């Protein structure tokens, strides 16, 4: 009997906020109205650190903590995206300098890259629509929704008896997160102010030496996945990944080659889909990359309602809303 892929999803979509909201504080843009958008979920230890920072400040506090409503918000004088971004940046820099949350933002874990946080995480992403920006590595401390791009590059079968083959990178041993794990052909987070497809173009060159011309000619958007990941240390990271596929034309397959460029990838292997599936079941892929590949298997008819007993459970959990409306 074929093994179910449900465990692949469970390894990545491993948190249900609806079951634990009583232990979390909603992180809102303003304390003025209950209808103001909530953008994150704060754990008690992070809330305590924010409270300590408020008490230690010689200036007007930047955050308001409402214990009755279990709500953290920016203070009333913090009203613009620039103000919010500056407050968050200063707070995280102080934490880092004092060694707080060193397992999240300390040392090399600090990425020096800004992510955008949106009042409506499922709304239109336009220039200037971010509620604020913050250091990438600190996003899990505030439980905000982050965004990335993942692309599967594959060789369609040349003959009827051949399998699809997928380009699979091995993450460098020096990576800040998940070193040595298998990854998607091209993947990366979307920096603040950058468009989705521009990120695919940038990451394709930086990670795999693929030209912009090739990406524009062959990459195709096929949707998005979303999942709520809780790290091994308990921090909350709801994520959305925009998904792309790129089929290498038959006449280009012999010469097509992915090559590491920026040091984030150790090597690339052109792997049969049977080997990809085996590695997925063995947990050798970074968890969210395995889910992206599962999405590929569904798109291409390898996983169906007839051969996967948990098909509906899998497909709905790969496109969740994080219980966001209840935060």
For residue 39, the tally of other CB atoms under 10 A from its CB is: 24
Considering the chain, tell me which residue range(s) the CATH 3.30.750.160 domain(s) occupy. 17-142
Task: Write down the residue that tokens 């279990």 correspond to.
Answer: 70
Here the tokens at position 170 are 């091995």
pLDDT for residue 33 = 61
| Per-chain mean pLDDT for the chain | 94
Residue 18 pLDDT exceeds 80: no
pLDDT bin (cut points 50, 70, 90) of residue 313 is very high
pLDDT, tens digit (0-9, with 9 covering 90-100), for 232-276: 999 999 999 999 999 999 999 999 999 998 888 999 999 999 999
Contact 311, 169 (CB under 8 A): no
pLDDT for residue 126 = 79
Kindly list the strands in the beta sheet with 38-42, ordered across the sheet, starting from the edge strand earlier in the chain.
38-42, 25-28, 71-74, 63-66
Return the half-sphere exposure (C-beta side, CA atoms, 13 A cut-off) of residue 294. Answer: 31
pLDDT bin (cut points 50, 70, 90) of residue 2 is confident
Looking at domain 17-142, its CATH architecture is 2-Layer Sandwich (3.30)
Q: Is 245 left (phi over 0), alpha (psi -120 to 50) or beta?
A: beta
pLDDT, tens digit (0-9, with 9 covering 90-100), for 129-178: 899 999 999 999 999 999 999 999 999 998 888 999 999 999 999 998 99
pLDDT, tens digit (0-9, with 9 covering 90-100), for 48-62: 999 999 998 877 899
Q: Are strands 71-74 and 63-66 parallel, antiparallel or unpaired?
A: antiparallel
pLDDT for residue 37 = 86
With both helix axes pointing from N to C terminus, report the angle between 81-98 and 44-56 in degrees, rounded to the nearest 10. Answer: 100
Averaged over 80-101, what is the pLDDT? 97
Q: Which CATH code is given to the segment(s) 6-14+146-326?
A: 3.90.79.10
Averaged over 90-106, what is the pLDDT? 96
> Whole-angstrom Cα distance, residue 137 to residue 117?
13
Q: Is 160 helix (H, G, I), strand (E, B) or coil?
A: coil
pLDDT for residue 34 = 59
Rounded to the nearest angstrom, the gap between the alpha carbon of residue 144 and the centroid of all alpha carbons in its chain is 11
User: Which percentage of the chain shows pLDDT scores above 90?
Assistant: 83
Contact 99, 175 (CB under 8 A): no
Averaged over 216-221, what is the pLDDT? 98
pTM: 0.94
Residue 195 pLDDT exceeds 80: yes
pLDDT for residue 171 = 96
Considering the chain, tell me which residue range(s) the CATH 3.90.79.10 domain(s) occupy. 6-14+146-326
pLDDT for residue 35 = 54
> Whole-angstrom Cα distance, residue 188 to residue 148?
6
4, 189, 224, 237, 292 from 14: Cα distances, Å: 17, 20, 18, 10, 16
């Amino acid at each position: 009997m074929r093994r179910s892929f449900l465990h692949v999803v469970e390894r990545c979509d491993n948190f249900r906020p609806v079951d634990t909201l009583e232990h979390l504080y909603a992180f809102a843009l303003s304390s003025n109205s209950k209808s103001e958008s909530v953008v994150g979920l704060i754990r008690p230890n992070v809330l305590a650190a924010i409270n300590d920072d408020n008490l230690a400040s010689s200036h007007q506090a930047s955050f308001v903590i409402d214990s009755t409503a279990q709500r953290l918000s920016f203070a009333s004088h913090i009203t613009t995206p620039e103000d919010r971004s500056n407050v968050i940046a200063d707070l995280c820099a102080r934490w880092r300098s004092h060694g707080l949350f060193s397992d999240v933002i300390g040392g090399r874990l600090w990425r020096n890259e800004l992510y955008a946080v949106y009042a409506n995480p499922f709304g239109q992403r336009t220039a200037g629509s971010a509620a604020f920006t913050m250091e990438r590595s600190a996003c899990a401390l505030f439980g905000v929704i982050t965004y990335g791009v993942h692309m599967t590059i594959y060789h369609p079968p040349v003959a009827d008896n051949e399998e699809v083959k997928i380009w699979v990178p091995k993450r460098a041993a020096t990576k800040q997160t998940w070193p040595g794990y298998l990854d998607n052909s091209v993947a990366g987070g979307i920096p603040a102010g950058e468009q989705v497809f521009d990120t695919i173009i940038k990451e394709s060159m930086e990670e795999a030496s693929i030209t912009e011309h090739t990406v524009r000619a062959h990459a195709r958007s096929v949707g998005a996945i979303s999942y709520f990941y809780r790290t091994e240390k308990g921090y909350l990271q709801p994520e959305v990944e925009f998904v792309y596929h790129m089929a290498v034309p038959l006449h280009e397959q012999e010469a097509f080659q992915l090559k590491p460029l920026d040091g984030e990838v150790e090597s690339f292997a052109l792997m049969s889909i049977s080997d990809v599936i085996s590695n997925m079941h063995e947990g050798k892929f970074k968890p969210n990359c395995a889910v992206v590949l599962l999405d590929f298997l569904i798109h291409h008819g390898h996983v169906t309602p007839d051969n996967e007993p948990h098909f509906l459970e899998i497909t709905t959990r790969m496109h969740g809303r994080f219980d966001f409306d209840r935060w």
